[in-house]
């Protein structure tokens, strides 16, 4: 059999592969360079940021703090977000409280460890963070994954938590079906690796698409927030950590313990939340023995972005009533 035609085709395929790989490599490098520094409001936010070493492994964690009140609030972001999502509430709440907003371990500009993420993993991290910044107790307010982290910390470290605020919060495994489109895809073998490759080439596109999917009113989605969230995609080990989170993170242990959480709990939800539908707000309200339910009409998954002043008012009123 004459192998020459096959050798010729193989050379063309190999050449095409080299060209495609080289193009992707150049695009990836250009994207990383373009995201290496914060811009706009994100740059102003970074100027306020501090970094602290946390836990026995000395992880470097980014946070922003403001205010000098006697009560401490810690604001915890969701999957794929950063402390930047709390930029409005930091200023609105700092008049009465000592406010911290952090990049969770594994996200944003904080370190991304080679660790198995779980609710207990994040709860233990929160206690280490509180130790690092000198907060003996705090009110924990979280959006999405951050709400689950607040609940988990209250469950496994109850003495460190005064109240919890669950804003469009995770906590139940059957909400996984409502995850963002790209997150659901990344859970599948091979496809997930493809999504990771896409995130290297077009992180801004993934961030913008995901935010638009989460919002009722997308006016808050500007170039600054897209750039700020996309910056995390080019930090060391981010994609590895997030892919492991998507495939290995489950709420089972937290879900079983939710009825045991006795802390006062604010449950704040957007009525038009398509990521974690409002039915889960009612489920939290039924499971948590001391809870207050507030639902915002014409609001999606991030009330702190779409209705920040109203969100701050509800949090402020809830904490005052709980003291």
Question: pLDDT per residue over 16-31, tens digit each?
Answer: 444 444 444 444 555 5
Residues 97 and 27 in one domain: no
Give the DSSP letter of residue 95.
T
Nearest to 93 by CA among 322, 310, 323: 310
Angle at 242 between CA 236 and CA 245, to 5 degrees: 140
**49 pLDDT exceeds 50?**
yes
Higher pLDDT, residue 245 or 304: 304
In Å, how far from its chain's centre is CA 272?
A: 19
pLDDT value, residue 177: 67
Residue 79 parent element (H or E): none
| Placement of tokens 């996984």 in the chain | 176
Flag the least confident range among 61-70, 159-168, 199-208, 227-236: 199-208
Query: Residue 203's pLDDT is what?
Result: 83
Give the range of the structural domain holding residue 13, as residue numbers without chain letter.
Answer: 1-34
Report the C-alpha gap between 260 and 155 in whole angstroms.
Answer: 7
> Count of CB atoms within 10 A of residue 317's CB?
13
Better-predicted residue by pLDDT, 182 or 272: 272
Same domain? 2 vs 125:
no
Residues 9 and 60 in one domain: no
Report the candidate in 187, 231, 253 with the shortest Cα–Cα distance to residue 40. Answer: 231
20 and 121 share one domain: no
Are 312 and 211 part of one and the same domain? Answer: yes
What DSSP assignment string belongs to 273-317? -SSS-THHHHHHHHH-SSEEEEEESS--S-HHHHSHHHHHHHHHH
> From CA 124, how far away is CA 153, in angstroms rounded?
7
Using the predicted structure, report yes or no on whether residue 14 has a pLDDT greater than 50.
Answer: no
Strands (DSSP E) contained in the chain are 50-54, 59-66, 72-76, 98-102, 138-143, 161-167, 265-270, 291-296
SS3 call for 249: coil
Both 17 and 49 in one domain: the answer is no
Nearest to 166 by CA among 248, 89, 297, 265: 265
Q: Are residues 46 and 109 in the same domain?
A: yes
Q: Report pLDDT for 191.
A: 63
Domain of residue 312, CATH code: 3.40.50.1820
What residues contact 16, with CB distance under 8 A and at least 6 apart? none
Same domain, 11 and 55: no
Residue that wins the pLDDT comparison between 11 and 147 = 147
The reply to whether 258 and 307 lie within a common domain is yes
How many CA atoms, within 13 angstroms, populate the side-chain half-sphere of residue 207? 24
Whether residues 294 and 157 fall in one domain: yes
**193 CB neighbour count, 10 Å cutoff:** 13
As for how many domains the chain has, the answer is 2
pTM summary value? 0.88
pLDDT tens profile 176-220: 666 666 666 666 665 666 666 666 667 888 889 889 999 999 999
pLDDT-wise least confident of 104-118, 121-135, 200-214, 258-272: 200-214
- pLDDT score recorded for residue 233: 84
Please tell me whether residues 65 and 81 are part of one structural domain: yes
* Rounded mean pLDDT, 172-177: 81
- Token representation of residue 211: 């935010």
pLDDT score for 155: 98
| Residue 82 predicted with pLDDT over 90 | yes
Asked if residue 51 and residue 5 are part of one domain, the reply reads: no
The contacts of residue 190 (CB under 8 Å, 6+ apart) are none
Return the percentage of the chain with pLDDT > 70, whole number: 81
* Between 50 and 12, the higher pLDDT residue: 50
**Is a pLDDT exceeding 50 seen at residue 247?**
yes
Three-state DSSP at 269 gives strand
User: What percentage of the chain reaches a pLDDT higher than 90?
Assistant: 70
């Amino acid at each position: 059999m004459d192998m020459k035609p096959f050798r010729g085709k193989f050379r063309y395929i190999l050449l095409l592969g080299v060209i495609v790989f080289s193009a992707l490599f150049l695009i990836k490098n250009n994207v990383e360079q373009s995201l290496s520094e914060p811009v706009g409001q994100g740059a102003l936010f970074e100027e306020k940021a501090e970094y602290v070493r946390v836990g026995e492994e000395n992880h470097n964690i980014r946070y922003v703090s403001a205010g000098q009140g006697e009560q401490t609030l810690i604001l915890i972001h969701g999957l794929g977000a950063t402390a930047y999502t709390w930029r409005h509430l930091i200023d609105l709440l700092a008049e009465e409280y000592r406010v911290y907003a952090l990049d969770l371990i594994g996200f944003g500009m904080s370190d991304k460890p080679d660790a198995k993420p779980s609710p207990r993993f994040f709860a233990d991290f929160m206690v280490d963070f509180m130790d690092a910044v000198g907060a003996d107790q705090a009110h924990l307010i979280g959006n999405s994954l951050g709400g689950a982290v607040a609940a988990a910390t209250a469950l496994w470290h109850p003495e460190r938590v005064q109240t919890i605020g669950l804003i469009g919060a995770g906590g139940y495994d059957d909400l996984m079906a409502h995850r963002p489109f790209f997150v659901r895809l990344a859970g599948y073998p091979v496809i997930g690796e493809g999504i990771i490759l896409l995130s290297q080439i077009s992180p801004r596109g993934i961030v913008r698409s995901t935010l638009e999917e989460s919002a009722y009113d997308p006016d808050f989605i500007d170039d600054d927030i897209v750039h700020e969230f996309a910056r995390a995609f080019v930090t060391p080990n981010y994609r590895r950590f997030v892919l492991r989170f998507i495939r290995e993170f489950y709420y089972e242990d937290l879900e079983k313990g939710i009825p045991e959480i006795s802390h006062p709990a604010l449950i704040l939800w957007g009525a038009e939340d398509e990521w974690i539908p409002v039915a889960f707000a009612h489920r939290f309200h039924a499971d948590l023995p001391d809870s207050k339910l507030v639902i915002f009409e014409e609001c999606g998954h991030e009330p702190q972005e779409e209705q920040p002043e109203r969100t701050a008012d509800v949090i402020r009123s809830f904490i005052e009533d709980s003291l």
